Amino acid sequence: MKRLNQVAVLVLVAVLSAACGGSGDSGDARGNGDQSAASTSPSIAASSTVEDVAVEPSTSAEPEYRRLSKKTLEDTLLSVNELPAGYARDPSGDGPDDDEDNDSYCAFEASKQPDVKVRHDYLKGGGLSSSLLSFSIGQYDSEKGPQAYLDEFAKQLETCTSEESDGETVKYAVMSVPQIGDRAMGVRVEGESYTLAADMATAGPVLIVVGGGGLIDLNVDEVNELFAKQVEKYLAAAKR
């Protein structure tokens, strides 16, 4: 099972750049409380006559999404009871500090890292029939963070479509995904002994990634369905 876990982590690290940014907990002071940005009340300037009263527009709008604490963010990840039958939690792969998070996609390094990152991995079956699902959310300090990430990642895919990893050729290709959240894209990762897929979406200040695959089977429909379900669960918790 270690080999499958290595491969799955490879694609997720490529997507999340976990190898480049540490644990992502440095921003907990900003992210450890569900925060609401207060709207600025309109100011009214009055002159000697009623006709001269003017209303100035608000100088700041309330954000569309709430920033969530790390615990609340983790609670929005799909639980084992929300998955198809047969999956079990694999805590050895949880979190960005996984010892095997030392690969990266074509030396890709994101210009900005999320303040908070949470991830849960699940395994099904064993041996050659084993498969893995991974759900992760990275929360940035603003909506520009995840949007910039997808811009940079898409640009990298234009110039790097394959590389050598662990002694085998790995191929990358942009993949169509359900258009949910603010923006979505996907990547298919194909090695000589496995196939994986990762669906990505931005939603306000977060990047949501759902990855899945196995040694002999890739159920893309399942990954896409769970991807949509994961994004919707986050939106229910964070959208105002």
Give the residue, 37 or 121, on which the prediction is more confident: 121
Among 24-33, 106-115, 225-234, the least confident range:
24-33
Q: Which of 211, 192, 208, 190 is nearest to 200 (CA)?
A: 208
Q: What percent of the chain has pLDDT over 70?
A: 69
Give me the pLDDT at residue 61, please. Answer: 63
Taking the whole predicted model, whether its pTM rises above 0.85 is answered as no
Confidence category of residue 31, pLDDT binned at 50, 70, 90: very low
Give me the pLDDT at residue 110, please. Answer: 83
Q: Which of 27, 11, 16, 2 is nearest to 163 (CA)?
A: 11
Give me the pLDDT at residue 108, please. Answer: 80
Residue for token pair 């949007």 = 147
On the question of pLDDT at 11 being above 80, the answer is no
Structural domain includes residue 170 = yes
Q: What is the pLDDT of residues 61-111, one digit of tens each?
A: 667 899 999 999 999 999 999 999 999 998 776 654 444 444 467 878 888
Give me the pLDDT at residue 105, please. Answer: 74
Looking up residue 216, the CATH number of its domain turns out to be: 3.40.1000.70
Give me the pLDDT at residue 201, please. Answer: 97
Confidence category of residue 45, pLDDT binned at 50, 70, 90: very low
Q: Which domain holds residue 141?
A: 2-22+68-238
Give the residue, 30 or 68, on which the prediction is more confident: 68
- 223's enclosing H/E stretch is helix 220-238
Give me the pLDDT at residue 116, please. Answer: 96
- 88's enclosing H/E stretch is strand 87-89
Structural domain includes residue 53 = no
Structural domain includes residue 12 = yes
The mean pLDDT of 114-142, rounded to a whole number, is: 91
Confidence category of residue 16, pLDDT binned at 50, 70, 90: very low
How many structural domains does the chain have?
1
Structural domain includes residue 208 = yes
Structural domain includes residue 209 = yes
Give me the pLDDT at residue 94, please. Answer: 60
Longest Cα separation, the chain: 83
On the question of pLDDT at 123 being above 50, the answer is yes
